[in-house]
Structures are given as structure tokens and as C-alpha cells.
Amino acid sequence: MAENLDFLFYPKSVAVIGASNVPGKIGNAIMRSITLRFDGKVYPVNVKGGEIEVNGKKFTVYRSVKEIPDEVDVAVIAVPAKFVPDVIDECGEKGVKATVVISAGFKEAGRADLEEELVKRAKKWGIRVVGPNCLGVTNLENGFDCNFNPPERQARPPFGKVAFMSQSGAFGAAILDWAASHKIGMSKFISLGNMADLDESDFMAYLGDDPKTGVITGYIEGVKDGRKFFNTAKEVTLKKPVVILKSGRTEAGAKAAASHTGSLAGSYRIYQAAFEQAGVLEARSMRQLFNYAKALAMQAPAKGNRVAIVTNGGGAGVMMSDGLLEKGMKLAELSEETNEKFRKAITEGKLPHHMSYKNPIDIIGDAPSSRYEVAMRYALEDENVDVLVVIALFQSPALDEGIVEAMERMKVYGKPIVFVAPGGAYSHKMARNIELKGVPVYETVEDGVDAVYALVKYGEWLRENGKL
């Protein structure tokens, strides 16, 4: 049974312990982030007292969390490591439910004893702990954001369906920035840090039940408890997809992971087998992680591995065919009924006689959106087609903006669609418009192959378990 961690992500009041008036200090950066969009109460705490002004708002600084006159749900702690256990005791006396410990200098710095003390004190009070040695957590829905990277350096993505947890704060920050620039909507971000208390499995279980999250993604170096992770993942992947980028795949990488967050990376082959058996999709790069996540957030899983391709560029269709076959998918064999539809449309002049309707369906370079629509409909109506890939080279002056509305009309067939639009500014503009209609668009053929693979692979997992 997943623990409901709503008290952590939806607090009514937050204390920032180690808050600072000095720009550039972590305690100041957290105050800036947390007061930007969060409409709950924020209480800065610093032994020096005084006042803090951030984002045009003035706050009284309390000398201790115990001095705050109201209840406090979450405390964000950014004080030197040696003081953290005592601060946890003060939070316990105050009735704080969760702490996010930003402070470093624990297990990762050879101070496992200090980390154990932190956990012991937190357990005594029943406080749940994120971190230590973490970047913070961000809920894009309500603006609760204790990530200490300033928005002008690290953008926040729009609210959406993808949740991301990361054992590396810096990598997590880069992912948030990247997702923002690619307009990929996120629900929640968790920097796991050393996972002294709450670990990747606890968050995966919570996100599995979170109605605002459609896809769970993560960067991990090593899991805290292998059996717990496996059992949790096996349960959660039947509800929603889980995509993990695992580093420490080599011996040298595993050693680097141990010195980074004090995690034991373990044998990569064991992880691979566990992912496969638990239905976790493994990404091999940051880009692939989001290629998978975007497709799974925007499209239903595929009911099979038979793919049809509609393209206005023959070369791109051949490249897509190669990529799909190399990843274990099949090019759909169009039925005789579909072939007859194409022949008839060519005879009637709806389609050009020099096009090819043997999958990949090459509607050639002078194709307007109306020609795309005919070819897409015929492909989607074919029972031998499980997934449709649409490749559009927008460099062709013939391809008009009607393609955007045409893509929306294709949703009536209920089959997953992946759109590929290589190119520059105009292609990007069209891609954004198509994505607003709920169809994921990719910049390269290779990215599109990733997207189809994720939809097919996750569909296979659900079918094997009687869920599709």
C-alpha cells in the first residue's frame, strides 16, 4: 500500500530553515523559488532573526521553527550538516510532518554517522525526510518549489503529466530546464539525494496513485532496497508507465556513483533483468528518457508491433523502416481492402498515380494536407496497423497548415500516432501546433523510433499481464 505523501507536495505552510537575505546564498535562493508561485504560508527561520525581502514581499524571520505562531507542514532545511539533527528535533516538537534536507555533508562526505543520527531523530518524531544532499522538490501544479536553482538559470516546465525523480540534483536541474525549453509538461519533480529515509520506491508508489501523474520517470545510480524496488515497480507499471535512466552501467561509472550520492550501483545486468521483469522501460540517454515519456504521456499504448508509415519524403520513410525493424517492430502489411482503397483513390485522382502505397506509404514531395489525410485514414482503418508514424518534411511549399486539424481528426481511430517533423523554425512552429492537438512530434527519425518503441513495449507489458 503506497503511503500518501500529499502532505509533502501539497503543504499549507512551509518553514525555510537557514533562510537568508544574502543573494547567492542557498537559503535566499530557496526563499525566492518558494515565494514565486506558492500561495501557502512561508516562514523564514534563521537564528539571527530580522526581516527578509524576496520577490517584492517582506517576511519576519523567526529564530527557531518553534517560534512560528501557526502550524508548519513542511520544513526545508539548509543549514550546515552538523546542526541538522538538532533542527529535526525542533521540527518534531513543532509537529512538522516532513522535512526536505538540502544540506550536504552526510554519507556522501564520509559522515554516515551524522546521516544515521538524522534518521534516528526523524523516526522518533514520525517525520518523513527527503534527502539529505538534495536539490529539493517541486510541485508544478501548486507552485510549491523549494528547488534552489533560480528561475533565470533553470526554467520550470509547464504543469503536465510527467513526474521525474533524480538521484543527481544537477542532472535533475538540467532535465527540468530541458523539459521547459521543449514545452514538456511535468507534474512533480523530486531530487532524491542520499535517500536516508524516503527512497525512489516510496515516491514511485506515491506517483503510481497520483491522479496528476501519467508517466513516472527517473534517473538513478543505484536503488536503496532491490526487492522493494522490484515489487513496487511490478505493481506500479500495471497502472502507468515507468521509465528509468540508469547510470553506473560500467565499473568506472559505478565507482563514480558511490562517491556521488553514496549509492551502491550494483551489477548493471541485475538491474537490466529486474527492469525487464518489472515492466520498467530503460532509457539509455536523457533524450531517450523524454522521447519515451512524451509518447507515453500523449498516446495510448499500442496493441501490437505493426507500424504503418505515411511520408512525403521517401528517404525518411526508408530510415524510419530501418530504425523500427532494428528495434524489433514490424512494418504492417496492408490488407487487400486497403490496397484497393488506394488504387481507387488514384484512379479517381484523389491521390497521384506515381505515389507508392506499399508501406511505407510515400505520398511524395508535393503532398498537401488533404493527401496526408486520405493516406492516414486508409492506414488507420486497416486492422493490420497498430501504430501510425507520420513524417512531414515541412520544407515542401505544398504542405499547408491544414495538417494540424487533420491530425486532430485522426484521433477518432483510437490508435497511437507518432509525428516526425525534421527541420528548423517553421517545422518547430508546426510541431508545437500539432502537439497542442495531443499528438507527440519528434525532430528526428531516431527520436520517432524511440517513441514507437515505448508505445509498443509498454503495450506488450500490459497485454502480458491482462491489462490491455
Asked if residues 3 and 210 have their Cβ atoms less than 8 Å apart, the reply is no
Question: Based on C-alpha coordinates, what's the Rg of the chain?
Answer: 25
- Return the minimum-mean-pLDDT range out of 149-163, 194-208, 308-322: 149-163
* Beta-strand relationship, 417-420 and 441-442: parallel
The answer on 274 and 315 residing in a single domain is no
pLDDT at 268: 84
State the residue for C-alpha cell 521509465.
243
Please say if the pLDDT value at position 259 is more than 80.
Answer: no
Taking the C-alpha atoms of residue 446 and residue 254, their distance in angstroms, rounded to an integer, is 28
Q: What is the mean pLDDT of the chain?
A: 95
| Cα–Cα distance measured from residue 294 to residue 442, given in angstroms and rounded to the nearest whole number | 10
Instruction: Give me the amino acid identity at 27.
Output: G
* Beta pairing class for 137-139 and 186-191: antiparallel
Strands 215-220 and 159-166: parallel
Q: Say yes or no to pLDDT of 112 above 90.
A: yes
Rounded distance between C-alpha atoms, residue 204 and residue 216, angstroms: 7
Confidence of residue 253 (pLDDT cuts 50, 70, 90): low
Q: Can you name the residues that pair with 53 across neighbouring β-strands?
A: 58
Decide: 49 and 62 in contact? Cβ < 8 Å: yes
User: Do 22 and 157 lie in a common domain?
Assistant: yes
pLDDT band per the 50, 70, 90 thresholds, residue 386: very high
Kindly state the cell numbers that stand for 398: 505544398
Residues 319 and 279 in one domain: no
Q: Where are the beta strands (DSSP E) in 368-435?
A: 387-391, 417-420
Residue 263: pLDDT band with limits 50, 70, 90: low
Give the mean model confidence (pLDDT) for residues 260-267. 56
Burial profile 373-412: b = 16 or more Cβ within 10 angstroms, e = fewer: bbbbbbbbebebbbbbbbbbbbeeeebeeebbebbeebee
Quote the percentage of the chain above a pLDDT of 90: 90
Distance, CA of 227 to CA of 70 (rounded, Å): 41
The answer on 336 and 309 residing in a single domain is yes
Same domain, residue pair 332 and 403 = yes
Q: Which residues contact 106 (CB under 8 A, 6 or more apart)?
A: 81, 112, 114, 115, 118, 132, 133, 194, 196, 262
Give residue 266's pLDDT band: very low, low, confident or very high (50, 70, 90): low
How confident is the model at residue 151, as a pLDDT?
A: 85
The predicted pLDDT at position 423 comes to 96
The whole-number average pLDDT for the span 200-219 is 98
In this structure, are residues 205 and 3 in contact, taking their beta carbons and an 8 Å threshold? yes
Task: Please state the rounded mean pLDDT for residues 262-271.
Answer: 70
User: What single-letter amino acid sits at 182?
Assistant: H
Q: Amino acid identity, residue 414?
A: G
pLDDT digits 0-9 by tens, 5-42: 999 999 999 999 999 999 999 999 999 999 999 999 99
For the residues 299-323, what does the mean pLDDT come to? 98
289, 245 in Cβ contact below 8 A?
A: yes
User: Residue 212 pLDDT > 90, yes or no?
Assistant: yes
Say what percent of the chain tops pLDDT 70: 96
When pLDDT is averaged across residues 205-214 and rounded to a whole number, the result is: 98
Q: Is the pLDDT of residue 257 over 80?
A: no
Identify whether residues 169 and 276 lie together within a single domain: yes
Q: What is the pLDDT of residue 258?
A: 55
d(CA 42, CA 64) in angstroms, rounded, equals 14
Domain that holds residue 246: 5-296
Helix (H, G, I), strand (E, B) or coil at 343: helix
Q: Look at residues 186, 236, 161 and name the one whose alpha carbon lies nearest to residue 206.
A: 236
- Please report, for the domain that includes residue 87, its CATH number: 3.40.50.261
Is the model more confident about 285 or about 262?
A: 285
Q: Could you give the angle at the alpha carbon of 456 between the alpha carbons of 327 and 226, nearest 5°?
A: 90
Confidence of residue 216 (pLDDT cuts 50, 70, 90): very high
Domains in the chain, number:
2
Given the C-alpha cell 498515380, which residue does it identify? 353
Residue 181 and residue 102 share a domain = yes
pLDDT per position as a tens digit, 132-151: 999 999 999 999 999 999 88
Domain boundary among 280, 296, 312: 296
User: Same structural domain for residues 59 and 145?
Assistant: yes
Instruction: Give 447's pLDDT tier (boundaries 50, 70, 90).
Output: very high
Tell me how far apart the alpha carbons of residues 244 and 221 are, in angstroms, rounded to a whole number.
10
| Coil, helix or strand at residue 393 | coil
Q: Are residues 130 and 111 in the same domain?
A: yes
Query: Residue 317: which of 403, 382, 390 has the closest Cα?
Result: 390
Query: Do 114 and 250 sit in the same domain of this protein?
Result: yes
Q: Are residues 270 and 227 in the same domain?
A: yes
- As given in the structure block, the three cell numbers for residue 1 are 500500500
- Which of 296, 323, 349 terminates a domain? The answer is 296
Pairwise CA distance, residues 140 & 123, whole Å: 29
CB 422 within 8 A of CB 444: yes
pLDDT tens across 49-103, in order? 999 999 999 999 999 999 999 999 999 999 999 999 999 999 999 999 999 999 9
- pLDDT band for position 436 (cuts 50, 70, 90): very high
* 394 and 289, same domain (yes or no): no
- Top pLDDT among 465 and 266 is at 465
Residue-level pLDDT at 2: 80
Please state the rounded mean pLDDT for residues 429-436.
Answer: 96
